[in-house]
Chains A and B, each alone.
Chain A
Amino acid sequence: MSARGELRGWADVALIPVLNLVVALLVSGIVVLIIGESPMEAMWIMLKGAVGSIKGWSYLLYYSTNFIFTGLAVAVAFHAGLFNIGGEGQAYIAGLGATMTGLGLEFLPWPIVIPLAVLMSALFGAFWGWVPGYLQAKRGSHIVITTIMFNFIASSLMVYFINYWLRPVGKMAVESRAVGNFDFSTFDLTGAYIPSLRELSLAIFGYRLPSSPLNPTFLFALAVAWAVWYLLWRTKLGYEIRAVGANTDAAVYAGIRPQKIIMVTMAISGGLAGLLAVNEVLGAQHRLVLEYVQGAGFVGIAVALMGRSHPVGIVLAAMLFGLLYQGGTELSFAKPEINRDMIVVIQGLVILFMGALEQTFRPWLEALFFRAED
């Protein structure tokens, strides 16, 4: 039904998400109430913890950086009509690229190693996205199935690599050696170590910011978001990606080869997910830790849904999830009764209402609007 009434732009992009968020928070509030805590207080702690201090903001932005990358990865694939739920595995494998570059080329100066490590993160992730893309294009294996499978394969492979290749002998924790080092008193930067903003501010201005893993990768993520927008709406490749996603028959008619676009798109998508390694491995942990992605790949799906697969929306949605993560941490500090599992429930509710039930209020809102317009 193409003639169906459609909401005005602002209501569509702003009002519906806000409404969904409010409902999600209300339901979360009921859950908090059930376990005997005050929802208003919990909400206040979350908000204050996430946006009430420089420290809160730093963590918020640090988490958002991960979600921007994985959200963009999912969104680019969406535009080609592909549901890439393998961001988790692509980011994980990318960690290997980042780490191997950092450790293998440690002797080179950082202006060379860091860009190389970033590139390798993207390439490793791209490869892990390209393979399911290839299987879909040439063998017709459904991308949802293959990308899930590739998450498991990545997980097993990485256990092997980290345990038997990267873990220093005798070290208990399953993680690699540090990829570099930074001494802020002498500004001595080695390897693929991206210093945190706190370290940079200490080194350059001598000013002590609150400690957080926030690092310049956040700015890089914003640049990448812009680049994705440019790719999709201002390049011929982006046009072809969107054409295949919107209408494969029309794309074929236009001489676009969907198989090629599927592979290219999945590689781009995987590469974007891979950039998560830049933030986590190079910028925050400075080492490759077992299972370091910690679900950020899946959060990316919710972020892309909520952000309407548009980079601006994705940045905003990623920040909302950053807020939930950081606010949730502060909440479990302040209220041990609301433990980390409760936080996951609250985050899950937000995903449910913003993603899966995203359209719930649309008909109702449409009816309201059209009545009002008469």
Chain B
Amino acid sequence: MTPSTTPAIELIGIDKRFGPVHANKDVTLTIRQGSIHGIIGENGAGKSTLMSILFGFYQADKGEIRVKGQPLKIRSSSDAIAHGIGMVHQHFMLVDTFTVLENVVLGAEGGALIGPALAKARETLTHLSQDYEMDVDPDAIVGELPVGLQQRVEILKALFKGAETLILDEPTGVLTPDEADHLFRILGQLRDQGKTVILITHKLREIMAITDHVTVMRRGELVATFETKKTNVEELAEAMVGRRVLLHVDKSPAKPGVVVLDVKNVTWKDKKGIARVDNVSFNVRAGEIVGIAGVSGNGQSELLDVIAGITRPASGEIIFEGKSIGQLADPRHLREEGLAHVPEDRQHRGLISSFDASESGILGWHYDESLGHGFRLDRDKVVARCTKEMAEFDVRPGNPLLKSSKFSGGNQQKIILAREIARDPDLLIVGQPTRGVEANERELGLRMAGVMREAA
């Protein structure tokens, strides 16, 4: 279908501040009808804020939104939905215990009795599902569906409510490559049927694979909009970061030393008794970087938890620097022995978002005598320590009293890394070191790993 001449969405001069943070600076963006439009940028670049304004979560301080040429005030998400804008959030907004059908109808029940709405919805849903190869059973319980299908339910929900423009926020973060490919096929079909798709992502590969246009944002500003066909990964990365980027690390050859960690036949079972880590053995020597690869959800996270002492293995043994730690270990013990751990889920585990940076900066080491004698915790020492670490690792803003949640993902990562490396550990475990981290920060992280290896 040929794109119509009226743009689906026009954002004109959008400006938004949160206190001192200027989240969107005079952003003007046009999105063509019947196209897939990517928006990329580092964390804190203002992509999510911009989309939240479009979806009615926030009100812009200045600027205008036009949908199909009509200037509109979007005051809430229901306003947005009424004007044909739908959003699929990074974290699904689904009721786990409801069926697919019930979830789809949620918010559009239309009257006190649910029966008629459900019957009508079932019909519409079946149509939609067929039209777009969604392949979703309307009577399945959402909580029991795999993540990829749950995401499709979200898309169906938006379509059911009449969405002409669909915003997807980091849709592939939770998907396996297969699922992601299926999603892209669905998005392609949506476009072919004349729908407009806005895709927010970090992943340059996805941008190149499916978008028609791509907009790059940096520090609240719109840097440039490209036609995808006429650009390349290097150009986009540069636009995101504002300078040339190293996408591969020049590393010196490893010089492996003694065995630091020896994992022998480790098995870990979840609450249902299913072995999520099944008889795993490997070892790590001093001075080497060992990668554990696999599609998310195949036991890597669980394995790291076992090694870090957070969970106990059902069987097998872990030997760290000659000591067996398998059954007795707890994280505190291991940390003292020289094992540092940057957890996979940094925001929810690596730090405490409601604590200030200095307090997050001592998590796990808070009981240390250097932070206060006996039961005391010396606030001055805690802050001083964080100030020092922030300077060393170039954390921005370098304010130890700022709430942890106010830092961008990359800077949170640095706070955690600084804390874990500061003790000069013998072994550093890092879960998903590049997740949620932007290109330039990723580069720094990789370099750090390299430095660690050289030093070990």
Contact = CB atoms under 8 A, between A and B. Distances in A.
Interface of A: 1-6, 8, 233-240, 242-243, 246-247, 249-257, 370, 373-374
Q: State the majority secondary structure of interface residues on A.
A: helix
B366 A3 contact: no
Interface stretch (B31-39, B174-182, B351-359): B351-359
Contacts of B353: 2, 246-247
Interface of B: 17-19, 21, 23, 48-49, 52, 57, 61, 308-310, 330-333, 335, 341, 343, 345, 348-355, 359, 362-364, 366-367, 371-372, 375-379, 405-406
B310 A5 contact: no
A250 B351 contact: yes
Nearest to A1: B57
Contacts of B330: 255, 257
B376 A234 contact: yes
Given A3-B18, A239-B377, A253 B355 contact: no
A252 B331 contact: yes
A256 B21 CA distance: 34
A61 B310 CA distance: 48
A246 B354 contact: yes
Contact of A243 (B21, B61, B341, B352): B352
A249 B349 contact: yes
A263 B300 CA distance: 33
A255 B332 contact: yes
Given A234-B377, A253-B350, A3 B61 contact: no
A254 B19 contact: no
Contacts, number: 92
23 contacts: A3-B23, A3-B49, A4-B18, A233-B377, A234-B376, A234-B379, A236-B367, A236-B372, A239-B362, A242-B352, A243-B366, A246-B352, A247-B352, A250-B349, A250-B352, A252-B310, A253-B331, A254-B363, A255-B309, A255-B330, A255-B331, A373-B17, A374-B61
Given A249-B348, A253-B310, 6 more contacts: A3-B49, A236-B376, A237-B375, A250-B363, A251-B352, A255-B331
Given A236-B377, A243-B352, A254 B49 contact: no
A2 B354 CA distance: 10
Contacts of A254: 331-332, 363-364, 366
Which 9 residue pairs across A and B have the least CB separation, nearest first?
Answer: A255-B332, A255-B331, A254-B364, A254-B363, A247-B352, A246-B352, A253-B349, A2-B405, A246-B354
A229 to B, nearest CB: 12
A81 to B, nearest CB: 11
Given A242-B355, A250-B363, A235 B332 contact: no
Contacts of B378: 234
Contacts of A5: 18-19
Given A3-B23, A255-B332, A236 B352 contact: no
Contacts of A3: 18, 21, 23, 48-49
Contacts of A6: 18-19
Contacts of B49: 3
A5 B377 CA distance: 31
B61 A250 contact: no
Contacts of A239: 359, 362, 366, 377
A235 B377 CA distance: 4
A246 B354 CA distance: 7
Contacts of B335: 255
Nearest to B368: A236
B410 to A, nearest CB: 15
Contact of B363 (A235, A237, A243, A370): A243
A339 to B, nearest CB: 42
A246 B359 CA distance: 12
Contact of A246 (B52, B355, B364, B375): B355
Contact of B366 (A240, A247, A253, A373): A240
A6 B17 CA distance: 11
A247 to B, nearest CB: 5
A253 B19 contact: no
Nearest to A6: B19
Contact of B341 (A1, A253, A257): A253
Contacts of A251: 352
Contact of A255 (B61, B349, B364): B364
Contacts of B331: 252-255
